[in-house]
Amino acid sequence: MKIKLHETKTNPLVIHANGKSKRGEGVYSDIERKFLETISPITDVTEDLTIVTWKGGKYTNSEMILETCMRYYNHKIVVLPWPTSSNFWEGSKYKINGTLEYLKNVDTKYFMWFDVSDVILLESPSKILDRYKKHFDGKLVFNAERNHYPKENRQDTWSESLKKQYKDLEKYDNTFDSTFKYMNTGCCVGETSVVIDFLQRCQTWMDEQINDTVAGRLAQREMESKVVVDRDCELFVCLYNVEPNEISIYE
């Protein structure tokens, strides 16, 4: 199956139902239902690619939608543990620190990560990699969303310098014409060497009481010649605040 996003006139290959967009009936449920009705098992081959996700807590003993995709594509995925002993924001830092540690022993040229519970790959990893090479080759690309997160009501424990830095970043992101202005850390594709540099830059803010999104967005701004945001939705689309009439679903 395919989707067409009317605003960008593109056909994203990766669906991310971040936040409230996964709950209830709506765009995501329509896409998930159609995907599961039409997907056929294949064997996908990508010799020089590592794919990572994280899983823990209430998801531990269940197959999540990303794992279902990888089972149909018969493609290996590395499932790293999600910490369950800390609060969500502190736990999300493992996405940076734990992944960086894992990458010390990875020698593939290319790398992808996807959140496990709310990401659907409409095409196989090899086709996603082909699309990446066409539009973003040599860089690390993240998905974009319409929601600036976290907002000021979630920043009470931040240092004043971090609040200012994040506010300046919001102003910068608002200069883009696309409604998908804000980087989201739920999906990325890129060269492994750039991923390592990016995660090392993210560690700059690990002493703050933040999550992976904040560190990722700040690091991307400082590395924007090599780390980019898919605001035209060539690869990904985040469904937060996307209405059913904004997307066409077809085979």
Q: What is the mean pLDDT of residues 140-165?
A: 96
Give all domains of the chain, ordered by start, each with its CATH number: 2-250 (3.90.550)
Q: Is the pLDDT of residue 251 over 90?
A: no
Q: What confidence score (pLDDT) does residue 114 get?
A: 98
Kindly tell me the sign of the dihedral angle through the C-alpha atoms of 121, 214, 194, 228: positive
Q: What is the pLDDT of residues 85-106, one digit of tens each?
A: 668 788 899 999 999 999 999 9
Determine contact, residues 55/84, Cβ cutoff 8 Å. Answer: no
pLDDT digits 0-9 by tens, 193-202: 999 999 999 9
CA atoms within 13 A on the CB side of 51: 24
For residue range 19-67, what is the model confidence (pLDDT) as tens digits? 899 887 889 999 999 999 999 999 998 989 999 999 998 899 999 999 9
d(CA 58, CA 139): 34
Q: What is the pTM of this model?
A: 0.96
Mean pLDDT value across residues 215-224? 98
Per-residue pLDDT at 85: 67
pLDDT of residue 89: 82
Percent residues over pLDDT 70 in the chain: 99
User: In Å, how far are 82, 85, 111, 157, 173 from 161, measured between CA atoms?
Assistant: 29, 29, 33, 12, 18
